[in-house]
Amino acid sequence: MTHLDHIRPAVPVLAAEPATGESADITDLLQLQAMDDRGRRITLLTRAVIGVVMLAGIVAVLLDSPLPHHFLLIGGIGLLAVLGAAAVLEQAALWGHVHFALTRSSRGRYHLARRWYAPGTIVLTGPGFDRPAVVLDWLSDPALAQPWVLIHDGDNPAQVVPLNQLAPLPTATGGRR
């Protein structure tokens, strides 16, 4: 026992099971993690472009450009508005892909279905899948053999578990489709 054990309780370490690759949920979550990484790269690139445009505008004004300042100002603001709108649309699309999936019913119709492992949803965990918990986030690490999910059950500290140790809540509307 160390002197830090009374400050931060030990989090139980779960043995990682090898990913079978057969589960559609595991494949889907890996694709969502790749989309999340892509969204982060796009956000970083957008911020870099905005910074370069702002820096160019400041330098042009400070060096007393031969163009009238209002042309530079209007052009810079217009470019920043377009880049900002594109970033907002990209983040909204990413949020939609994370929380919802477009599925096809047996009658050939398409409908939106909420992903049972999306952040903010309630899932079942425990030995008999009898304990509810809330999904907080996913771990996006290429070194992991399968997706891991950060959950919190209200009584214990948040913990990280593999996706195959969680189950969706049963729904009454599942039979209508």
Q: What is the pLDDT of residues 17-72, one digit of tens each?
A: 434 445 677 777 777 777 778 878 888 888 888 888 878 777 777 777 676 777 77
Residue 53 and residue 131 in one domain: no
Residue 50 and residue 121 in one domain: no
Domain encompassing residue 155:
116-170
- CATH number at 126 reads 2.30.30
- Give one word for 46, left, alpha or beta, with left for phi > 0 and alpha for psi -120 to 50: alpha
The total number of structural domains that make up the chain: 2
Long-range contacts of range 160-163, CB-CB < 8 Å, 24 or more positions apart?
Answer: 160/14, 161/14, 161/125, 162/14, 162/16, 162/17, 163/23, 163/25, 163/26, 163/29, 163/117
Nearest to 105, CA basis, from 117, 116, 113, 115 = 113
105 found inside a domain: yes
Distance CA 14, CA 165 (A): 10
Please identify, among 83, 112, 141, the residue that sits at the C-terminal boundary of a domain. Answer: 112
Residue 77 and residue 132 in one domain: no
| Average pLDDT, integer, range 81-109 | 81
Give the global pTM: 0.51
Residue 81 and residue 62 in one domain: yes
Distance CA 95, CA 99 (A): 6
Cross-strand partners of 101: 113
DSSP character for 10? P
Cβ within 8 Å of residue 74, ≥6 positions away: none
Nearest-5° Cα angle at 174, 169 to 177: 155
Residue 86 and residue 154 in one domain: no
Of 3-7, 32-36, 42-46, 104-108, minimum mean pLDDT range: 3-7
Residue 83 and residue 58 in one domain: yes
Top mean-pLDDT range of 94-98, 130-134, 136-140: 130-134
Residue 28 and residue 108 in one domain: yes
12 found inside a domain: no
Please identify, among 112, 127, 154, the residue that sits at the C-terminal boundary of a domain. Answer: 112
10 found inside a domain: no
Residue 138 and residue 124 in one domain: yes
pLDDT of residue 103: 75
Cβ within 8 Å of residue 152, ≥6 positions away: 133, 134, 136, 158, 159
Residue 35 and residue 104 in one domain: yes
